[in-house]
């Protein structure tokens, strides 16, 4: 009896040790981490793989927060999740992280991680270390006048260690101490647990009167509290005692059937399986093979379900260990890559420095060359401008000479014969035509060479300008007056004035805006 009933209590206390601590969440990242922790806790009993996945995500984000209370809670839940999935080394690691952080922050609740560490050692079959940490946890809880469920939970686990060793009197003393603590706290749940534990020890000691008295006290409180799990467990323990110790199968059936029905109704699978095994044994003894087979079949199905869950848990552990191995390999690979990248970076840095120095020197040479080229271009430009000026002077002088010659010929023509007049007219016409060809062709060639950008901008900005208008723009760019342009082009002053007016309109210039200044700025 002791093995099965104690196993139920043992599971109860280990699965109910964790409680969330109230604390503030400072920002969105804190909320994100908290939600992952909450998700891990909710999945811990039903889907270990999801619980591990959520807690690992939360642990990966722990460096993004400075919230010490949140980190303590994270390590607490991480320890519990890995403990539930039987990954004891990781559970121990995070309970120790929680303990260290609590000590740094001066927390008075160090008994919580100490209790967790004791649980890990207990399930790892290291009862010496388990006892050590349970006692430390209890000492811390008492030192800080802790009056909550933690004290009697720690006491309970210590008492279980004593029961395992056969120290029933010491176990009873601890359970009675837990009962007194529960009475002070007015903690019904604690009282239910204490009465059950005292009853179980007395069953082991075959003090049946005390055993039933405490069991029925636990039953009354569980009914008032509507604690169906406690009721189911109490009925199972009483039924087990009637069958195996008192040898009263009728009373045993009564309580075992109660426990079975409640287990089925509330899905308490472990107790339902244990009840099925005991009932099958009773009905087989009574030669009621139909009912014996029925409960044996139920027990078998529940055992298979248990094995499936265990297999799933083992697979979860194996998957976790495999993932951890991959992570370790990746970490080594990353470290090797990091070293390689460091040396590669140093080499690249040196090469970059060398290339930079080389480029700097080349840039200096190019700059020097550009300065020389610019000086040459300036000299050439000055030379071209000088040529244009000289050509303009030549044009003006030539035009003036031709004008004077034409005037003198016109005077001679008036006193000459008609045949001579025709010849003079022809000469005057030739002089004018020759002047026109010379003036523009020479001027345009040199001007384009020295003002290439001006021509490009002009045509791009005003694509509808005629050839003569472009020529007029060039003359104005040279700051030539209307009279000078008239002389060079052999057009009348009035024609040039009209051409200038037309050009202003095409360029949309205001009346007070100078055409010459505009072209000079282009």
Question: What are 262's two structure tokens?
Answer: 């409640």
* Any domain includes 322: no
End-to-end CA distance of the chain: 109
Beta-carbon-side half-sphere exposure of residue 486 (alpha carbons within 13 Å): 13
Using alpha carbons, select from 92, 53, 50 the residue that is nearest to residue 75: 92
* Any domain includes 476: yes
* Any domain includes 21: no
Interatomic CA distance for residues 476 and 478, integer angstroms: 5
* Any domain includes 502: yes
* Any domain includes 254: no
Any alpha helices (H) in 148-268, and if so which ranges? Answer: 149-165, 168-185, 188-204, 208-225, 228-241, 249-266
- Helix 127-143, helix 149-165: angle, nearest 10: 150
- The values of phi and psi at residue 334, to 5°, are -65, -40
Interatomic CA distance for residues 272 and 261, integer angstroms: 8
* Any domain includes 174: no
Number of structural domains (the chain) is 1
Using alpha carbons, select from 251, 188, 263 the residue that is nearest to residue 196: 188
User: Angle CA(134)–CA(136)–CA(141) in degrees, nearest 5?
Assistant: 95
CB–CB of 175/155 below 8 Å? yes
* Any domain includes 47: no
Q: Give CA 31 to chain center in angstroms.
A: 14
Using alpha carbons, select from 245, 163, 153 the residue that is nearest to residue 190: 153
Secondary-structure percent of the chain, ordered helix, strand, coil, rounded to 5: 85, 0, 15
Per-residue pLDDT of the chain (522 residues; tens, 9 = 90+): 334 444 433 333 554 344 455 678 888 999 999 999 999 988 876 677 888 889 999 999 999 999 999 999 999 999 999 988 778 889 999 999 999 999 999 998 999 999 999 999 988 889 899 999 999 998 888 887 765 667 667 878 888 888 878 888 988 998 888 888 888 888 888 889 889 989 999 998 999 999 999 999 999 999 999 999 899 999 999 999 999 999 999 999 999 999 999 999 988 888 999 999 999 999 999 999 999 999 999 999 988 876 776 566 556 656 666 666 776 777 788 888 888 888 888 888 888 888 888 888 888 888 888 888 777 766 776 666 666 666 665 666 676 676 677 777 777 777 777 767 777 777 777 666 655 554 566 667 777 777 778 888 888 999 999 988 988 898 888 888 888 888 777 788 999 999 999 999 999 988 888 998 898 888
Range of the domain at 433: 418-521
* Any domain includes 453: yes
| Other beta carbons less than 10 A from residue 335's beta carbon | 10
CB–CB of 161/130 below 8 Å? yes
- The values of phi and psi at residue 476, to 5°, are -65, -35
Reduced to 3 states (helix: H, G, I; strand: E, B; else coil), residue 66 is: coil
């Amino acid at each position: 009896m002791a093995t099965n009933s104690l196993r139920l209590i043992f599971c109860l206390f280990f699965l109910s040790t964790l409680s969330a601590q109230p604390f503030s969440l400072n920002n969105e990242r804190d909320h994100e981490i908290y939600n992952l922790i909450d998700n891990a806790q909710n999945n811990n009993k039903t889907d270990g793989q999801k619980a591990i996945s959520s807690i690992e995500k939360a642990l990966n984000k722990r460096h993004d927060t400075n919230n010490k209370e949140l980190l303590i809670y994270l390590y607490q839940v991480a320890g519990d999740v890995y403990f539930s999935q039987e990954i004891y080394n990781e559970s121990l690691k995070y309970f120790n992280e929680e303990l260290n952080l609590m000590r740094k922050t001066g927390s008075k609740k160090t008994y919580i991680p100490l209790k967790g560490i004791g649980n890990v050692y207990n399930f790892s079959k290291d009862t010496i270390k388990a006892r050590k940490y349970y006692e430390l946890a209890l000492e811390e809880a008492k030192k800080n006048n802790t009056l909550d469920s933690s004290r009697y939970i720690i006491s309970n686990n210590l008492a279980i260690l004593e029961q395992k060793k056969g120290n029933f009197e010491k176990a009873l003393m601890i359970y009675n101490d837990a009962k007194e603590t529960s009475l002070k706290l007015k903690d019904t749940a604690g009282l239910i647990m204490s009465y059950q534990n005292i009853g179980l020890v007395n069953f082991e000691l075959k003090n049946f009167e005390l055993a039933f008295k405490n069991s029925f006290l636990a039953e009354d409180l569980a009914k008032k509290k509507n604690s169906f799990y406690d009721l189911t467990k109490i009925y199972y323990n009483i039924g087990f005692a009637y069958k195996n110790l008192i040898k009263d199968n009728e009373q045993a059936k009564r309580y075992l059937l109660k426990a079975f029905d409640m287990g089925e109704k509330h899905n308490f699978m472990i107790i339902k399986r244990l009840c099925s095994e005991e009932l099958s044994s009773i009905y087989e003894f009574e030669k009621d093979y139909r009912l014996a087979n029925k409960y044996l079949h139920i027990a078998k199905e529940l055992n298979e379900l248990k094995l499936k869950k265990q297999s799933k848990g083992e697979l979860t552990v194996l998957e976790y260990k495999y993932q951890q191995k991959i992570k370790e390999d990746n970490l080594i690979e990353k470290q090797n890559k990091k070293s390689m990248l460091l040396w590669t970076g140093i080499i690249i840095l040196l090469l970059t420095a060398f290339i930079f120095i080389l480029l700097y020197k080349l840039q200096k040479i190019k700059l020097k060359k550009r300065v020389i080229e610019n000086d040459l271009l300036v000299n050439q430009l000055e030379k071209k401008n000088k040529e244009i000026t000289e050509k303009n002077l030549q044009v003006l002088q030539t035009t003036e000479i031709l004008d004077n010659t034409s005037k003198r010929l016109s005077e001679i023509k008036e006193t000459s014969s008609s045949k001579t007049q025709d010849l003079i007219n022809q000469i005057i016409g030739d002089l004018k035509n020759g002047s026109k060809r010379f003036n523009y062709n020479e001027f345009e060639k040199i001007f384009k060479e020295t003002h290439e950008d001006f021509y490009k901008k002009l045509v791009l900005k005003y694509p509808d300008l005629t050839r003569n208008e472009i020529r007029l723009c060039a003359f104005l760019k040279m700051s030539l007056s209307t009279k000078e342009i008239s002389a060079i082009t052999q057009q009348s002053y009035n024609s040039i004035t009209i051409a200038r007016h037309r050009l202003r309109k095409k360029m949309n210039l205001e009346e007070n805006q100078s055409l010459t200044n505009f072209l000079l700025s282009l």
